């Protein structure tokens, strides 16, 4: 082995704990980011499905007798 390889190996061996900890943090960060993206996609799909379901439901029509309001308004206009 050349001296450069020996020096590089020693440096890597000296910093192995730091390197392993950094790799572990990156792996956990990737897992968390993946879970967040998956949760976002699932939430978006659920919201879109619910919106489509609500839009396809027939509208409920409410009828009200407004004769008394019309009579009142016409009595105000008469004065």
Parent domain of 49: 3-78
What does pTM read for this prediction?
Answer: 0.57
Total number of domains constituting the chain: 1
Q: What's the pLDDT at 79?
A: 62
Report angle CA 2, 22, 11 to the nearest 5 degrees. Answer: 20
The DSSP secondary structure of 6-65, one letter per residue, reads HHHHHHHHHTHHHHHHHHHHHHHHHHHHHHHHHHHHHHHHHHHHHHHHHHHSPPPP----
Percent above pLDDT 90 for the chain: 49
52: pLDDT confidence band, cut at 50, 70 and 90?
very high
């Amino acid at each position: 082995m050349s001296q450069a390889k020996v020096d590089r190996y020693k440096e890597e061996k000296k910093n192995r704990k730091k390197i392993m900890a950094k790799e572990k943090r990156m792996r956990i960060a990737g897992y968390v980011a993946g879970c967040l993206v998956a949760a976002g996609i699932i939430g978006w799909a659920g919201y879109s499905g619910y919106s489509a379901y609500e839009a396809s439901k027939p509208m409920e029509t409410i009828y009200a007798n407004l004769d008394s309001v019309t009579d009142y308004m016409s009595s105000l206009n008469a004065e």
